Amino acid sequence: MSTGGRVVAGREVVVHDDEQEVAADGAARLVAALAQAQAARGVASVVLTGGGIGIAMLRAVATTAGRDQVDWSRVDVFWGDERFVPAGDPERNDAQAREALLDSLPLDPARVHPMASSSPGHAAQDAGDVELHGTADPDQGAEAYAQVLTAAAARLGEAPGVPGVPAFDVLLAGCGPEGHTLSVFPHSPAVHATAAGVVAVRDCPKPPPTRITLTLAASRAARDVWLLATGSAKAEALGRAARGASEVEVPLAGLAGSEHTLWLLDREAASQL
């Protein structure tokens, strides 16, 4: 059973009993949001996240009622961050997402936009004739994804006031016990990156240490931003964010959609709100 949505510090917060309910509710909401976006604009876009609850939600989409309301061939799929490891590595967010959901959907491959891998010589053609090459340099990988976003923005529509970034319909994000979101960690260079773009991340306190991530400013290009979090380990960071902590100290506090911000939590994660 869930509690109805309530507003906490400008965010809609919905609390469920457990992770399974969070995943099921997120899946139903995502299907509805993408169908509504297509009804309004003909296409839809989503930014995916990794982590346990993010992948559980994708598994729930695979079996949710109404999945076929969405024309999946007209959905653009992006990622908010990625582990900078070889292509196909099971630690990669895109590999987990494909196994959980994407491989079962009739997606247009040109509308699926993975971040670069660390596999030299590996290349994937992206929409807009942008090639994402594997590279030993995560900065080059970040620059390549920035080009992907620029090409997508020209096709899907640029977010108002956020040059070079599409107005994503939904951006999904998780968080860590210390308050990181995407791969933006407290007091890191990435959290101080004020431009809307893509940056390489090194020396992450959580392995793997090298990653590529959207900046918080780029994430705010999304119309809807949904944070999914479960478990008592996330409670302190969520409570601090709700009480007004700065995004430098608690990066998840910097997540906000241009139209709507939603936190989908279980009771343990919400215990300090």
Pick from 224, 241, 96: which is nearest to 181 by CA? 241
**What is the pLDDT at residue 270?**
97
Give the mean pLDDT of 81-110. Answer: 96
Map out the domains of the chain as residue ranges: 3-266
Cα 4 off chain centre by:
24
Write down the mean pLDDT value for the chain: 93
Main-chain phi, psi angles of 102, to 5 degrees: -60, -35
Residue type, 8: V
| Per-residue pLDDT at 245 exceeds 80 | yes
Write the pLDDT tens digit of every residue in 167-212: 999 999 999 999 999 999 999 999 999 999 999 999 998 899 999 9
Residue type, 111: R
Render the chain in DSSP notation, one character per residue: --EEEEEETTEEEEEESSHHHHHHHHHHHHHHHHHHHHHHHS-EEEEE--HHHHHHHHHHHHH-TTGGGS-GGGEEEEESEEE-S-TT-TTSHHHHHHHHTGGGS---GGGB-PPP-S-TT-EEEETTTEEEE--S-HHHHHHHHHHHHHHHHHHH-EETTEEEEE--SEEEE---TT--BTTB-TTSTGGG--SSSEEEE-S-SSSS--EEEE-HHHHTTSSEEEEEE-SGGGHHHHHHHHTT--TTTSGGGG---SSEEEEEEETTTTTT-
Joined tokens for residue 199: 């940056």
Q: Give the integer Cα–Cα distance in Å for 129 and 127.
A: 5
151 CB neighbour count, 10 Å cutoff:
18
Give the mean pLDDT of 158-171. Answer: 95
Residue 73, Cβ density class (10 Å: 0-12 exposed, 13-18 middle, ≥19 buried):
exposed
**What is the pLDDT at residue 255?**
97
**What is the pLDDT at residue 121?**
55
**What is the pLDDT at residue 130?**
42
* Residue whose token pair is 């040059």: 163
| Per-residue pLDDT at 55 exceeds 70 | yes
Architecture of domain 3-266: 3-Layer(aba) Sandwich (3.40)
Stated pTM of the model: 0.93
Q: At what angle do helices 51-63 and 93-100 cross, to 10 degrees?
A: 30
Q: Give the integer Cα–Cα distance in Å for 76 and 156.
A: 9
* Residue whose token pair is 């990066």: 251
